A and B are shown apart, each in its own frame.
Chain A
Amino acid sequence: MPLDTISTYAQTLLRQDGRRWNELRRITASISTQPSSDGSSLLTMGNTMVLCTVTGPREGNRRGQRDNTNATVETEINVASFAQMDRRRRVRNDKRIQELQSTVSSAFQSHLFTHLYPRSTISISLHVLSLDGALLVACLNAASLALVDAGIPMPSILAAISSGSVTPTDDSSTRPEPILDLNNVEEQELPFLSIATVSGHPGSEDKVSVLTMESRCQIGGANSKLESMMATGVDGCKQVRRKMEDVIRKHGAKVLQGRK
């Protein structure tokens, strides 16, 4: 049996790990995991595991770059060398990691109510303990939960998911099929994008806040892949947000129980 999604998906409509096109991997999360930090979370999506700690808002240590009207969001991503199957030591100024850091920073810089904390810094520190695809997605979700735990006001929870597209190779006229929440193997063979949304006012639609795509795919024409991928992604974000809200509610109930 061939071990790639492209050749088997059309026959079975099941992916390599047995999921259907719109099924998420198991998402578990917990918040307030690190008592010594202001906010923390541990998020797992399938075999991807990210630990996030948030420090702040606090006085920034670099006085020159202080913003007099808003808080500044800083992000540090650290992919542990044991995170993947083959051990790989990552250097700190890896270009890809730097780009991910600035993506996470800018996503939360515009999402949080930073005007409430002028002249201060919010530092997000992300530790990727295990990596099986969806690096940016897991980082965004973990940071979102940790920021909630840190008590930093935000209009809604930022939720992220990745979506990809399968095109059967033998027949180019067939419609490409979108799939949700890719693992590492699927990320390597299929075009995919990472999308994050924030929910709008009640009744209105969700807004996309992060959208990155690092692979090539056809955008225009009759068989445009992009639109279906984005539609699937936005739906996936809704599911993820529901799960994250559950986690926060459960934690809140537990805290209240402890107060009695």
Chain B
Amino acid sequence: MPSLASSSPFSPAELAYLHTSLSSVPPLRPDARSLGTDFRPLRAETGVLPAVNGSAHVGFSDGREAIVGVKLEVEKTVERKNTGLKYHVDSAMDIDMDEDERRKQAMGKQEWVTLTLTVPGLRDDDPNLAFLEEMLREPLAVPLSTAPQSDNSYTMSLQDSLVINSRWHWHVYVDVLLISPNGLASYPLPLLSMAAHLALRDTRIPKLKSEGEEDPVADDDWMASTYLYPRKVVTTSPRPPVILLVLVVGENVIFDPSREELAVADGIVAVSIASSTDDDKDCKVLAVRMVDSPARDTMKGIPQSEEPQKGVDVPGVWRPRVGGVKRSVLKAVIKSVVVDGVARDVMSGLDGFLNLEDGADAGANAV
């Protein structure tokens, strides 16, 4: 992914100071967070908009905010050409379809999930925008294995749960609006993915009055609708993915980086995580992507004493980062996400927030 910041607002001296303090063990973070795995507080609310199926508003403490609206639309399923043979026996299929075929039929397509991102002041066809959109959409629509579980329940990916019958399906539109004082320069990936996560978990599918292969007719009663993702969660229940931005400075792995920390990153890694389908694991990694660090485009510092020799690193003097990230460091990133339980903490934090919202709703109804 290309670097999103056009120019860094920090001087070489500031960058050197930040880099030195972040690469010490344990890292000294500029906002006094004690651990690399500490997250900043964030505000979130769901169900903020009328006229949508699900919505969320997430605000980070640095003033960035994302508002997400999820809309569902009924769409006609276009039969693929290569299933033409199956098409002829369509009428008979309802009756004597074996389990295998039913499974095949219940498979959704990736195109049924659309995600758009709007950033004020940015052109609609900005390449960074298109890249971010795809990066957010891709883990949502990842097809999961459809192998039967031990308790005979099938794990369904998002698009599989959108199937109504063989001719109709729901199309999910996730529209993300980013309100940020400095546009994409603040690397809003975790903010956007968390907002999309909460909005999708707030999304309800209207109950259908039609049955089986009939054309879908929705029930007017909104209270009868069901959630797109199950609201009462156990560890293995499906949840939308979350993308974490992880920073590598020296040997240190730092989560939820602030703007100052991003400016001196040796490497930035975007890790998308989803809840695992196995009982013994909490979370699994869907994708790992390298993001270009803004530290590459900075000016180098000049030592005061003597003219520096080429390729010699003077301690305390800023040198723009070059090259990639070592395999061992990447391994450490994945380890701290999966094994050390950052992914689990993030997921359970989001679960806890939704439980609180549910509790507040129930309390309001009781009074």
Contact = CB atoms under 8 A, between A and B. Distances in A.
Interface of A: 34-37, 47, 49, 51, 53, 55, 76, 78, 80-85, 87, 89, 91-92, 125, 127, 129-130, 132
A130 B177 contact: no
Contacts of B180: 36
A37 B181 contact: yes
A82 B179 contact: no
Contacts of A47: 50-51
Contacts of A80: 67, 69, 118, 175, 177
A36 B297 CA distance: 26
Grouping DSSP codes into helix (H, G, I), strand (E, B) and loop, the A interface class, with mixed when no group exceeds half, is: loop
Interface in B172-217: 173, 175, 177, 179-181
Contacts of A91: 124
B49 to A, nearest CB: 5
B120 interface: yes
Interface of B: 49-52, 55, 62-65, 67, 69-71, 73, 116, 118, 120-121, 123-124, 173, 175, 177, 179-181
Contact of A85 (B51, B55, B63): B51
Given A36-B181, A82-B175, A87-B73, A127 B120 contact: yes
A36 B173 contact: no
Nearest to A81: B175
Which 6 pairs from chain A and chain B are nearest by CB? A36-B63, A82-B69, A36-B181, A87-B71, A81-B175, A82-B175
6 contacts: A37-B63, A47-B50, A80-B177, A82-B175, A127-B179, A130-B50
A34 B69 contact: no
Contacts of B179: 34, 51, 53, 127
A76 B121 contact: yes
Contacts of A34: 63, 65, 179
A82 B114 CA distance: 13
Nearest to A85: B51
A87 B70 CA distance: 10
A132 B52 CA distance: 13
Contact of B116 (A55, A76, A81): A81
A38 B64 CA distance: 14
Given A34-B63, A129-B67, A76 B120 contact: yes
Given A81-B175, A87-B73, A125 B120 contact: yes
B162 to A, nearest CB: 15
Given A127-B177, A132-B50, 14 more contacts: A34-B63, A36-B62, A47-B51, A78-B118, A78-B177, A82-B55, A82-B173, A82-B175, A83-B51, A87-B173, A92-B124, A125-B121, A129-B69, A130-B51
B183 to A, nearest CB: 12
A76 B120 CA distance: 8
A82 B123 CA distance: 19
Contact of A82 (B51, B120, B181): B51
Contact of B49 (A36, A85, A130): A130
Nearest to B123: A92
Nearest to A78: B120
Name the residue in A37, A53, A129, A130 with the highest tally of chain B Cβ atoms < 10 Å from its Cβ: A129
A260 B63 CA distance: 25
Contacts of B63: 34-37
A89 B116 contact: yes
Contacts of B118: 78, 80-81
A136 to B, nearest CB: 19
Nearest to A35: B63
Contacts of B50: 47, 49, 130, 132
Contacts of B124: 91-92
A81 B173 contact: yes
A118 to B, nearest CB: 24
Name the residue in A35, A55, A82, A129 with the highest tally of chain B Cβ atoms < 10 Å from its Cβ: A82
Contacts of B120: 76, 78, 125, 127
Contacts of A51: 67, 179
B52 A82 contact: yes
A76 B179 CA distance: 13
A89 B175 CA distance: 10
A53 B178 CA distance: 12
A82 B49 contact: yes
A34 to B, nearest CB: 7
A125 B119 CA distance: 11
A41 to B, nearest CB: 13
Contacts of B64: 36
A80 B123 CA distance: 15
A185 to B, nearest CB: 13
Contacts of A55: 181
Contacts of B181: 36-37, 55
Name the residue in A81, A125, A127, A132 with the highest tally of chain B Cβ atoms < 10 Å from its Cβ: A81
A97 B177 CA distance: 18
A87 B172 CA distance: 11
A78 to B, nearest CB: 6
A4 to B, nearest CB: 20
Contacts of B177: 78, 80, 127, 129
Contacts of B116: 81, 89
A36 B64 CA distance: 7
